[in-house]
Amino acid sequence: MTARNSLKRLVRARMRKTGESYSSARRYFHTEDYEMTNATTKLQPGLWPDWVAEHPWLVAFLIKAEAEARNRGDTCCDHFHIELAFLSLGPPVSDWLATLGLDTPVMREDTVELLGMNAERGSGVNGDEAWFARGQRARAARRSTDPVTECPLVSVDEVYTGELLELASAEAKLHGDSIDERHFLIALAVLLFAGSPPTVGALRHLTGLSSTEDTSYDVRIDDNREWMRRLAASHGADPGMFPYDIHGPRP
């Protein structure tokens, strides 16, 4: 189900509920993509690990990820919302993505489609009502002066999103930095490249994390487990224990 079809379901659900015409109901959902119109300067309390506050860029970035979830009517922030937030960043991220040959608009559309399919699977027997409620929540979030308070998220996907955070943290620690967009490109690589990213060295060279020249951006590793093992080994972790244990104690 595409983002456009998701919108049509919301519109038709409203038509059934209110008796409006299609055009009238369509005006209720005034955007085909859930654009973030209300910025906030704070994370929702209690959703993220306490250590996140130590990384200013990460805090600002996760605020964008939360907004991606709220503005789509979702109640759980997951790795797809993080991907959308990353794809929306300007330079240098947009320059890196262009160098890597990624079509950002298409990737955003595909990610929104995945979110729509996930929402449909979770809507249960009362699908139309669930979609209508989701649309109402999205609309309220876009219009709210304080979406964190008025449209709170219920949860964060702990497994995949937690692993992304731990990967970015490990990459930043390796280079003696606070987490920023360079480290998140490494963390998101498997997701961005559908499981077949360029080499870790190429991504590090592209972002300036490594001075060792490696421009093999078109080299893909078919086995993403091998890519992960190499990444884990570069962090000094046991490749056989990858992904990182996000429930264990932090060093």
Average pLDDT of the segment spanning 85-93: 95
Helix 200-207 vs helix 181-192: crossing angle, to nearest 10: 140
pLDDT: which is higher, 251 or 174: 174
The Cα–Cα gap between 109 and 115 comes to 10
Average pLDDT of the segment spanning 37-45: 77
pLDDT at 54: 94
Does pTM top 0.85 for this prediction?
A: no
76 - beta bridge partners?
A: 155
pLDDT at 131: 76
In one letter, which amino acid is 240? G
Average pLDDT of the segment spanning 170-192: 95
